[in-house]
């Protein structure tokens, strides 16, 4: 049993020269049918495989077949104040890139940022954005980090403009220009995203 691409599945089971060729000789066996059922189970998405699917599942052939677009998914990441303070030198990974060979691309749809103010605002470098493969997918935000109150911000995706398909690239949070010099508020980021096979692009 294995995860099959759409092309391989059709060649194996739809093509008249495949496993289910015109059965004039009655040679389609019980084993052929079991193999077909196994390949269907591995190559289709079922409700239970989509529930609570995190990015770690993207590279798993048993979780995410290579030729399907997944519906919108959600992942929440708590970025601690310590991480924010090094958010330029060490960008924070929100969603890991798919494993090489999986041929999947993360498609961000929306970012929701919640900062619950601690007791000190971030200072000096207070602009951040979200990036895929080092390329901005949102505009820079300049209001959250220097705030002295709680913040709730929805950041839409502005697009992705690069010469290559980011098929193994992670989605990251990055502070611009340098690390902040003060601040102690944690930030909760909710990512709404989908996953698409790069062969479909």
- Quickly list DSSP for 64-125: S-TT-----EEEEEEE-HHHHTTTTTSPEEEEPPPPTTS-EEEEEEEEEEEE---SS---S-
Grouping H, G, I as helix, E, B as strand and the rest as coil, residue 22 is: coil
Residue 62, in any domain of the structure:
no
Regarding whether 124 and 78 lie in a shared domain, the answer is yes
Regarding whether 34 and 117 lie in a shared domain, the answer is no
State how many domains the chain has.
Answer: 2
Both tokens assigned to 189: 């980021």
Whether residue 24 has pLDDT greater than 70: no
User: Cβ distance 53 to 174 under 8 Å?
Assistant: no
Regarding whether 157 and 117 lie in a shared domain, the answer is yes
Taken as a whole, the chain contains a residue count of 201
Regarding whether 19 and 107 lie in a shared domain, the answer is no
Grouping H, G, I as helix, E, B as strand and the rest as coil, residue 40 is: helix
- pTM for the whole structure: 0.64
Percent of the chain with pLDDT over 90: 44
At 30, is the pLDDT very low, low, confident or very high (cuts 50, 70, 90)? confident
Condensed to tens digits (0 to 9), the pLDDT of residues 114-142 reads 999 999 999 999 999 999 888 999 999 99
Percent of the chain with pLDDT over 70: 65
Question: CATH code at 90?
Answer: 2.60.120
Regarding whether 98 and 22 lie in a shared domain, the answer is no
Residue-range definition of the domain harbouring residue 33: 6-44
Regarding whether 173 and 89 lie in a shared domain, the answer is yes
Helix, strand, coil percent content, the chain, rounded in steps of 5: 20, 25, 55
């Amino acid at each position: 049993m294995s995860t099959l691409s759409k092309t391989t599945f059709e060649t194996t089971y739809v093509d008249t020269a495949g496993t289910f060729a015109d059965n004039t000789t009655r040679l389609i066996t019980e084993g052929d049918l079991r193999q077909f059922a196994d390949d269907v189970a591995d190559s289709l998405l079922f409700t239970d495989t989509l529930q609570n699917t995190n990015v770690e599942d993207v590279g798993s052939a048993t979780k995410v077949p290579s030729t399907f677009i997944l519906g919108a998914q959600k992942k929440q990441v708590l970025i601690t104040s310590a991480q924010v303070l090094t958010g330029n030198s060490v960008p924070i990974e929100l969603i890991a890139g798919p494993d090489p060979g999986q041929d999947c691309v993360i498609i961000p749809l929306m970012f929701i940022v919640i900062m619950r103010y601690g007791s000190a605002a971030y200072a000096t470098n207070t602009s951040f954005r979200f990036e895929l493969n080092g390329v901005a997918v949102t505009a820079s935000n300049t209001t959250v980090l220097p705030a002295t109150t709680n913040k709730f911000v929805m950041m839409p995706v502005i697009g992705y403009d690069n010469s290559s398909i980011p098929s193994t690239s992670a989605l990251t949070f990055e502070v611009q220009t340098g690390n902040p010099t003060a601040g102690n508020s944690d930030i909760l980021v909710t990512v709404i995203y989908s996953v698409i096979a790069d062969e479909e692009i």
